[in-house]
Copies of this chain bind each other. A is one copy, B any other.
């Protein structure tokens, strides 16, 4: 955890981006690190955890991180928590919380709150169109002989 926090601090000092750092650990060994590069990379998804997960997957040649743990300087936002679920890591560890992040001007807490509302009632509303038509994609998937679940 100390290492994740140091990455976060160093990322601010070096002008790399926001105050966030993360590590992916497998069997006690750090296999990837990540820092926030949203502004520098023009990529709103370039959070520390997402970057560390992508780097770890590249390193292992796998789309899952089974048996791995993530150490992150701050509680993951919903985007990064979703990525943690999709990567199927075993567990994660954090130091600061979503409230600490809110205190520093970041939207993590707001997004957690918004997720609890139905899509149409959120501050960024999500509306349903052609509600029957999308099922055709899932039917195609169920019938695809070569499909690989993830």
A88-124: which residues lie under 8 A (CB-CB) from chain B? Answer: 88-97, 100-101, 103-105, 107, 110-112, 114-116, 119, 124
> Looking across the interface, which residue of chain B has its beta carbon closest to that of A50?
B45
> Looking across the interface, which residue of chain B has its beta carbon closest to that of A60?
B42
1/0 per residue A117-150: CB within 8 Å of B? 0010000111111111111111011101011111
Establish whether residues B93 and A39, one from each chain, have CB atoms under 8 Å apart when the complex forms. no
Q: Is the interface of A mostly helix, strand, loop or mixed?
A: mixed
Indicate whether A43 sits within 8 Å of B57 (C-beta atoms), given known contacts A78-B79, A91-B124, A130-B95: yes
> Looking across the interface, which residue of chain B has its beta carbon closest to that of A61?
B42
Provide the bound-state CA to CA distance between A82 and B134, in Å: 22
Among B60, B87, B95, B129, contact of A131 (Cβ-Cβ < 8 Å): B95
> Looking across the interface, which residue of chain B has its beta carbon closest to that of A146?
B15
Show the binding face of A for B, using Cβ within 8 Å.
1-2, 5, 8-9, 12-13, 15, 18-21, 38-39, 41-45, 47, 50, 53-54, 57-58, 60-65, 71, 73-97, 100-101, 103-105, 107, 110-112, 114-116, 119, 124-138, 140-142, 144, 146-150
